[in-house]
Structure 1
């Protein structure tokens, strides 16, 4: 996969390093010459350019990239790049860093953003995930499809213990993507039995979250389990 990263600061370099290790082709764009440190990651291509300038992006042939990551420390710059990448260069996937959580409402598909990553919000969600049992916690939002990655930890005394995954009557358009059990990450199969303490991770549209929480918290107004 060919990935363009705008912003070669600590965040951009860290993302690039992970992607290079995974075998992807990475180019770092940086307008501040002092941040151009090709010796720190020689496997990546380094370009001295302003990612908000249409001319620089045209010279870099941004349309040839599969993914653009707007990782600068300036929310305005990240939004401009996201919009240009989508509207001018038809890049398939745009991921944008949100520096100030108060600006998160702007990082939508209207600005060309497919996935917005807010570090403060993500850290807060991870704290909630670590201490919340029985409550639905939103971990991440996928803007393009208006779907969320959500997690719920089953209480030890959950009435779902011993029930098969196939007996969960999930709301429409909701998918159980993994079960985390201790150190195990389980790809759920229909006959897998649930246990107290399981962390269930779902993809769900926002409008289905309340119904999903009711189903998983059974009983208490949730859908009944089907027989079998």
Structure 2
């Protein structure tokens, strides 16, 4: 990585992505398109020449080695993305980024769903992204009206982004958001209605088919699920 790269003054975030495979390169392209600065890190020497990402910086290094990360200047980045195909490597990088380089935001890819429980605060992970979980959630979301669907793990594994779609003939149709009276440690953050994104002010009436997005602590997820099923299910379905 060059000094010119580090001194760029676009005002955008500096993002280091470890793992320049298909996933890492795709993330890099999206971030570059949104005006951020990107450094791709990979041990393979030929990656940058065989499949370049125009506009991205490149570093040939082992992202699990402390010395390599020091040479890269990881502490100067706002976000680190651990996107390799090896969960062990992603965990090691996440821990080093957070504890040794004080990176503000660490996002880690989970390759094996059984390992997801590891990707939390203890390993320096702020957000864990499991591709299998996301695909499963997308499938469930397409058919799961009237049930809570887990979409994403947030903030070191303590919180989840979940969705709930109001069923037809719901007992809650036409009632205001304030009437939800959500359990502690859960919050409604957005309502998706057709192609619109609606801010969930207290006086906004809910309609059948509304997809509500909630942020909820993991310990409160069952309470939120039971509460929504109790008050929003069609009459006689409970």
> TM-score scaled to structure 2, two decimals?
0.88
Kept in 2: contact 1:169–1:215 (CA 8 A): no
Output the CA distance in 1 between the equivalents of 2:182 and 2:157: 19
Structure 1 residues 104 and 211: CA distance shift in structure 2, 3 A = closer
Match of 1:91 among 103, 109, 113: 103
Kept in 2: contact 1:149–1:203 (CA 8 A): yes
Match of 1:151 among 152, 163, 181: 163
Kept in 1: contact 2:172–2:231 (CA 8 A): no
Output the CA distance in 2 between the equivalents of 1:15 and 1:24: 11
Structure 1 residues 106 and 145: CA distance shift in structure 2, 3 A = closer
Kept in 2: contact 1:29–1:46 (CA 8 A): yes
Trace 1:138-177 onto structure 2 (pairs within 5 A). Answer: 138-144=150-156, 146-177=158-189
Shift of 1:85: 0.5
Any gaps of 5 or more consecutive residues in structure 2?
A: 1-12, 233-238
Aligned residues: 221
Shift of 1:42: 2.1
Residue 27 (str. 1) matches residue 39 (str. 2): yes
Bigger mean CA offset, 55-64 vs 97-106: 97-106
SS at match of 1:149: strand
Shift of 1:145: 6.0
Output the CA distance in 1 between the equivalents of 2:103 and 2:56: 20
Output the CA distance in 2 between the equivalents of 1:117 and 1:179: 22
Bigger mean CA offset, 96-105 vs 206-215: 206-215
Structure 1 residues 210 and 106: CA distance shift in structure 2, 3 A = closer
Shift of 1:149: 0.4
Structure 1 residues 145 and 124: CA distance shift in structure 2, 3 A = closer
Residue 211 (str. 1) matches residue 196 (str. 2): no
> TM-score scaled to structure 1, two decimals?
0.91
Output the CA distance in 2 between the equivalents of 1:77 and 1:212: 35
